[in-house]
Amino acid sequence: MTGTELFNTSMARAKALCSAREYCSGDMICKLQSWGLNQEETNRIMESLIKDKFIDDVRYASAFVRDKYNFSKWGKIKINAHLRSRAISGEIIKNALDLIDEEQYRRTLSELLSGHRKHVRAKNQYDLKGKLYRFATSKGYESGLVYEVINEIC
Half-sphere exposure of 55 (CA within 13 A, CB side): 19
Are residues 143 and 106 both part of a single domain? yes
| Distance of alpha carbon 69 from alpha carbon 92, whole angstroms | 16
Are residues 112 and 147 both part of a single domain? yes
- Is a pLDDT exceeding 90 seen at residue 4? no
- Is a pLDDT exceeding 70 seen at residue 2? no
Residue 6 — very low, low, confident or very high, per pLDDT cuts 50/70/90?
confident
Nearest one of 74, 75, 94, 70 to 84, comparing CA atoms:
94
Q: What does DSSP assign to residue 73?
A: -
Answer whether 96's CB lies under 8 Å from 58's CB: yes
Are residues 112 and 137 both part of a single domain? yes
pLDDT digits 0-9 by tens, 23-38:
999 999 999 999 999 9
Q: Looking at the 3D structure of the chain, how many domains does it have?
A: 3
pLDDT digits 0-9 by tens, 49-101:
999 999 999 999 999 999 999 999 999 999 999 999 999 999 999 999 999 99
Are residues 46 and 21 both part of a single domain? yes
What pTM, to 2 d.p., does this model score? 0.91
Domain range holding 112? 102-153
Are residues 13 and 46 both part of a single domain? yes
Q: What does DSSP assign to residue 120?
A: -
Answer whether 146's CB lies under 8 Å from 137's CB: yes
Percent of the chain with pLDDT over 70: 99
Instruction: Give the range among 5-9, 44-48, 52-56, 59-63 with minimum mean pLDDT.
Output: 5-9
Residue 1 — very low, low, confident or very high, per pLDDT cuts 50/70/90?
low
- Is a pLDDT exceeding 80 seen at residue 20? yes
Q: What is the CATH number of the domain that holds 74?
A: 1.10.10
